[in-house]
Structure 1
Amino acid sequence: MAVALVLVLIAVGSVIFHLVSPWWWTPIASNWRYIDDTIIITFWITGAVFVAVVLFMAYCVYRFRHRAGQQAHYEPENKRLEWWLTLVTAVGVAAMLTPGLFVWRQFITVPEDATDIEVVGQQWQWSFRLPGPDGKLATSDARLISPDNPLGINKDDPKSQDDVVIEGGELHLPVGKPVKALLRSIDVIHDFYVPELRAKMDLVPGQVSYIWFTPTRTGSFDILCAELCGVGHPQMRGTLVIQEQKDYQAWLQHQAARSFARLSPASGGPD
Structure 2
Amino acid sequence: MSHTAHIPSHRKPRRSASKMALRAGVTGGVLSTLAVAGASGAASAAEPVTQTIELPTLTTDLSSQVAQSADATQQAAANYQLQAERDEAFANAAKQAKKDQATAEKKAEAKKKAEAEAAAKAKAEREAAQQASSRSTERTTLSTASTTAAAPASGSVGAVLSFLQSQVGDAYVMGGTGPNSWDCSGLVQAAFKQAGVDLPRTSQEQSTAGTAVSLSSIQAGDILYWGGAGEAYHVGVYIGNGQYLDAANPSKGVVIQDLSGYPASGAVRVL
Superposition TM-score tier, normalisation by shorter sequence: under 0.3
More helix by share: 2
Higher RCO by CA contacts (8 Å cutoff, separation 6 or greater) = 1
| TM-score, normalised via structure 1 length | 0.27
Superposition TM-score, scaled by structure 2 size: 0.27
Between structure 1 and structure 2, the one with the greater Rg is 2
The structure in which a higher percent of residues are strand is 1
